Amino acid sequence: MAKVAIDISGGRILQENTIVGIDLGTTNSLIARVVDGQPEIIKDYGKPALVPSVIHFGAAGSIVVGDEAHERLISDPANTIYSVKRLLGKTYKDIQDQRAFFGYQVLDDATDSLVKIRVGERFYNPIELSSFILKELKQRAEHKLKTPVDRAVITVPAYFNDTQRQATRDAGKLAGLDVLRIINEPTAASLAYGLGVGIQAESEVVAVYDLGGGTFDITILRIEAGVFEVLSTHGDTWLGGDDFDREIIRFWCQQQGWEETKAHQDATWGQTIRLVAEKAKKTLSAQAIFVSDASENGLGSDLRLTKAEFDQLIQPLIQKTLDSCRQAVLDSGISLEDIQTVILVGGSTRVPAVRESVKAFFGKEPFDKIDPDQVVALGAAVQADILAGNRKDMLLLDVTPLSLGIETLGGLMDVLIPRNSKIPTRVAREYTTSIDGQANLKVLVYQGEREMTRDNRKLAEFELRGIPAMPAGLPKIEIRFLLDADGILSVEAKELRSGVSQEIKIKPQYGLTDEEVEHMLLSSLENAKTDFEERQITEAREEGRQLLYHATKFLENHGGLLSEEQIQGMKAKMEALEHLLTQQDKSAIHAGIESLNDYTRPFAEMIMDEAIQHAMKGKKI
């Protein structure tokens, strides 16, 4: 396979502005760029480089991010959002067990839709919240550099799934950034490391052990003549320094006879003890004992913790990370002895017990010449520099320059393989039908960066025929994209319940000149805002159409249970919604949906009651 760093811009458009690298962390975030071949953190005048990933919403509508927001954790916990990265791309069901961890209100909507956070009268999703952090970083960088910053490489944990990656990308877009690439934090760290020690001529295998505030990743890479190849990765998106803090809190609660649930019932108390616990943990990275006086800690009791006690508390958590390491080494096909370097990343690797355990596991002293807080952002900047075409000595495995996807309802582009994905690659995603008894499904394959398929390039069209009759939503249609090392795409559609399938081969790059690629990228930047708005309207319309479809079905099947007045009331609401769907107003469409939903909710309950009564007939309790 040809190993080339693809300069997706043709080297022209990307060099006008700085491309930055961003480490969007659970606890802290950082922004960096490359100057004269060396990555450096961008630090705004008089402000610390590390920006706490905390957002505070003031009463008068003000939004502040960073240290100032961090200070409000105790005084105004309900309006101060932290660890939002833990919620990115998650549904309420995913996080309900951990809900107590959050001092703010995570909405329980008992659905499979992505979580929302309530702040005062407004609801935010984690994408919007993350975009506030990114905006802050962008503004600080622009202030310092006195130049627009609108292109970025953003890092994510290697273990982030597609939804979480997409959410990170969307957050970037919302912040006014064109996200040229999402790269894995450990890969970024290895890039910074590779640059730091000089590009090795010979092959070297490195392990990146990344333990941050909320996530743990272990990645095994081979660096060979400047080519960085990920061999395996493993981790846990819910394991980090925050869990160390929680162990300390639990310990003190037991010791003092405090109810652990107090932290959830009283947000201010919860935040106070959380911050004291974090302070204890950090202190024990340098000292053997931590003592906190009742007069100053705000908790009414003297608290203490020794390093030995702390080490014992976190031992099971460290063990979990080592289990992941063992799995990653196994998956890489490399033996433990062949790993030459272990790179430490993330604030939690400052804990001595973590370092010692890592050292014992890998049998060597970890490399820690680069600040573990900064190494990811520095590496992201190196990646940005490679994409800008400024580095020819560090090479990436071949990538695909434009996204590949299919058209979904409303003409939306659903990207299966995002641009810059390493090839070869394969991706599968499940879809379903929107109409009862639908027998055929048309699959339209597109390439490009715009939200609406009509603005992208159509590569192929084919039909999956013979889907057995099933109600809408029941068929499980898997669309599989396989992009081989030559850039040839095969697409397969398969109905999983019946096994019906159809396959075609496409050459996606065919006929696209560099200029066309450049044009598509440029137009995606220019149109990002209108595209985004259009997408929101299209999604709202689609939701409205689905609701109308179900409402019509409802009247057909259960109309007999309703009074004439109720039927007319429902029809009026439906007509009103139908009219709104022809308008360009997303909020009005949402209001129409809400209104019809509210009106019909009691009817659904009525039918449930009826069904239960029916089922209970003749049965004895």
Q: Tell me how far, at minimum, the Cβ of 216 lies from ligand AMP, in Å.
A: 10
Nearer to ligand AMP, 26 or 433 (CB): 26
- Residue 143 CA: distances (Å) to CA of 46, 149, 317, 485: 12, 10, 41, 42
Among 212, 235, 366, 405, binds ligand AMP (CB under 6 A): 212
Nearer to ligand AMP, 23 or 451 (CB): 23
Among 25, 52, 126, 186, binds ligand AMP (CB under 6 A): 25
125 binds ligand AMP (CB under 6 A): no
How do strand 151-156 and strand 19-24 relate by DSSP bridges?
parallel
Nearer to ligand AMP, 325 or 483 (CB): 325
Among 346, 401, 418, 448, binds ligand AMP (CB under 6 A): 346
Which candidate in 85, 116, 173, 494 is catalytic? 85
Nearer to ligand AMP, 285 or 327 (CB): 285
210 classed as catalytic: yes
Q: Tell me how far, at minimum, the Cβ of 282 lies from ligand AMP, in Å.
A: 4
Nearer to ligand AMP, 339 or 353 (CB): 353
348 binds ligand AMP (CB under 6 A): yes
Among 90, 181, 350, 391, binds ligand AMP (CB under 6 A): 350
Q: Tell me how far, at minimum, the Cβ of 210 lies from ligand AMP, in Å.
A: 8
285 binds ligand AMP (CB under 6 A): yes
At a CB cut-off of 8 Å and minimum separation 6, what does 71 contact?
none
Of 209, 225, 417, 394, which Cα lies nearest the Cα of 318?
A: 209
Secondary structure letter of residue 240 according to DSSP = S
At a CB cut-off of 8 Å and minimum separation 6, what does 495 contact?
464, 467, 468, 475, 476, 477, 478, 501
Which amino acid, 392? K
39 binds ligand AMP (CB under 6 A): no
At a CB cut-off of 8 Å and minimum separation 6, what does 501 contact?
464, 492, 493, 494, 495
Ordered alpha helix ranges (H), 36-148: 67-70, 72-75, 92-95, 126-145
Q: Give 529's Cβ-side CA count (13 Å radius).
A: 3
At a CB cut-off of 8 Å and minimum separation 6, what does 129 contact?
55, 81, 84, 117
Q: Tell me how far, at minimum, the Cβ of 483 lies from ligand AMP, in Å.
A: 33
281 binds ligand AMP (CB under 6 A): yes
Among 9, 18, 27, 271, binds ligand AMP (CB under 6 A): 27
242 binds ligand AMP (CB under 6 A): yes
At a CB cut-off of 8 Å and minimum separation 6, what does 593 contact?
540, 543, 544, 547, 577
90 classed as catalytic: no
E strands, 104-188, in order: 105-106, 117-119, 122-124, 151-156, 178-184
At a CB cut-off of 8 Å and minimum separation 6, what does 544 contact?
577, 580, 581, 589, 592, 593
Which tokens sit at 438? 């639908």
Which of these ranges, 24-32, 112-120, 313-321, 502-510, lies near ligand AMP under the rule CB under 6 A? Answer: 24-32
66 binds ligand AMP (CB under 6 A): no
Residues annotated as catalytic are 23, 85, 185, 210
> Which residues contribute to the site for ligand AMP (CB under 6 A)?
25-28, 212-213, 240-242, 278, 281-282, 285, 346-348, 350-351, 373
